[in-house]
């Protein structure tokens, strides 16, 4: 009997339904779909500096507020179409799930704000450092808190990545605040999503709904001071702000699905993909400063990523050879 078969017994299922947990949330996502979802997410997040640069004329708090509001507007109809409203209502009534979602919303809201600020002020290289450090912390959380197994090649890769981070931190003289805030906020969010049992759609919707009243209150207060609801009367800006709902919600849905189907020790390294894309954009498109020390430190990190990519292949070949040896004996 498989694990999800045990979970679906009547004595277990009924209390879970009462807590707003559906059958889909109790089944672990398909590993291939989980990996594909996460890769798609990090592609979108990797190119996000190009997206946020078009918001240069809009006040930063306005961007964040609209991002929250339009995410809620985008997600609620999807909840209704998928007949998940009863589960959303149940989640609101569950004190445990509500507290978890509140923590998630605070963590991701802070992460959104810092990412937008980094892109709008053209500090993408510094933000990339934070994104590079985050997977190390996530992998360690998976190993030491969730007791996930870790292979030797992953340990070696972590050491290389850590060396790169230490080098750039020493070079700068301190851990930049942008990097630190990104590390703390997204590590917390990832860990909370990993231990959450809520359906992806229900969870993300609940998080945005918890933030929406604050965002709306801010926009209304600013309107009373004479600032337009969209921060500007430009049609282009209005459409851009409305698009933030889609740009935000779809990646979060995919992320929430993917992270539950993977070990954090494996998931952590995929996160290096996005900051690498962002780093390339920062250097070659935004023309940000990138010294020899930057290249050296990032080189250590890239070696770690290469080890992770080659490690499973070598491990698979070794296992195959061992099997043949045993069979031959």
Choose the weakest-confidence range: 23-27, 38-42, 119-123, 130-134: 23-27
Most confident of 54-63, 73-82, 164-173, 193-202: 73-82
pLDDT at 315 > cutoff 80: no
Kindly state the tokens that stand for 184. 């703390």
**Residue predicted with more confidence, 73 or 270:** 73
What does the pLDDT read at residue 65? 94
**pLDDT, greater one: 112 or 329:** 112
Nearest to 87 by CA among 20, 23, 24, 27: 20
pLDDT of residue 173: 77
> What is the C-alpha separation between 91 and 100, in angstroms, rounded?
10
pLDDT tens for 251-268 read 988 888 887 777 766 666
pLDDT over 80 (residue 329):
no
103 against 271, higher pLDDT: 103
pLDDT exceeds cutoff 50 at 15:
no
CB-based contact 138:271 (threshold 8 Å): yes
Q: The pTM is what?
A: 0.74
For 112-148, write each residue's pLDDT tens digit: 999 889 888 888 888 887 887 787 788 788 888 878 8
Confidence of residue 101 (pLDDT cuts 50, 70, 90): very high
Nearest of 99, 75, 83 to residue 24 by alpha carbon: 83
**Tell me: the pLDDT tens digits for 275-300?**
888 888 988 998 888 889 888 988 99
User: Predicted confidence band at 242 (pLDDT cuts at 50, 70, 90)?
Assistant: very high
Q: Which residues of 58-76 are buried (b: 16+ CB within 10 A; e: fewer)?
A: beeebbbbbbbbbbbebbb
Kindly state the DSSP code that residue 28 receives in the 8-state scheme: P
Rounded to the nearest 10°, the torsion over CA 177, 182, 185, 190 is -160
Q: Where are the alpha helices (DSSP H) in 173-234?
A: 177-195, 200-224
| Tens digits of residue pLDDT in 197-214 | 888 889 989 999 999 999
Cβ distance 273 to 134 under 8 Å? Answer: no
pLDDT, residue 297, reads 87
- At residue 66 the predicted structure's pLDDT band, cuts being 50, 70 and 90, is very high
pLDDT tops 90 at residue 216? yes
308-312 mean pLDDT = 78
Instruction: End-to-end CA distance of the chain: give it in Å, rounded.
Output: 34
């Amino acid at each position: 009997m498989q694990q999800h078969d045990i979970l679906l017994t009547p004595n277990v299922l009924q209390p879970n339904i009462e807590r707003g947990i559906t059958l889909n949330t109790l089944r672990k996502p398909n590993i291939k779909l989980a990996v594909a979802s996460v890769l798609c997410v990090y592609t979108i997040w990797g190119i996000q500096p190009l997206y946020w640069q078009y918001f240069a004329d809009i006040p930063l708090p306005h961007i964040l507020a609209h991002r929250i509001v339009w995410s809620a507007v985008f997600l609620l109809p999807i909840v209704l179409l998928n007949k998940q409203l009863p589960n959303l209502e149940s989640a609101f009534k569950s004190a445990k799930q509500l507290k978890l979602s509140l923590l998630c919303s605070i963590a991701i809201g802070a992460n959104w704000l810092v990412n937008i600020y980094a892109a709008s002020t053209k500090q993408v290289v510094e933000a990339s450092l934070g994104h590079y450090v985050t997977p190390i912390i996530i992998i360690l959380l998976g190993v030491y808190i969730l007791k996930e197994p870790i292979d030797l090649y992953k340990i070696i890769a972590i050491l290389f990545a850590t060396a790169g981070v230490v080098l750039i931190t020493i070079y700068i003289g301190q851990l930049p605040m942008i990097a630190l805030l990104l590390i703390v906020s997204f590590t917390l969010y990832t860990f909370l999503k990993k231990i959450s049992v809520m359906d992806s759609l229900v969870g993300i919707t609940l998080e945005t709904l918890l933030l929406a009243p604050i965002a709306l209150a801010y926009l209304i207060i600013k309107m009373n001071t004479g600032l337009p609801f969209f921060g500007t009367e430009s049609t282009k800006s209005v459409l851009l702000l409305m698009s933030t709902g889609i740009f935000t919600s779809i990646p979060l849905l995919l992320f929430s699905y993917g992270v539950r189907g993977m070990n954090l020790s494996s998931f952590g390294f995929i996160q290096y993909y996005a900051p690498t894309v962002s780093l390339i954009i920062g250097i070659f498109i935004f023309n940000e400063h990138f010294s020899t020390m930057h290249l050296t430190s990032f080189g250590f990190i890239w070696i770690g990523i290469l080890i992770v990519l080659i490690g499973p292949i070598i491990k698979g070949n070794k296992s195959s050879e061992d099997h043949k040896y045993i069979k031959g004996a």
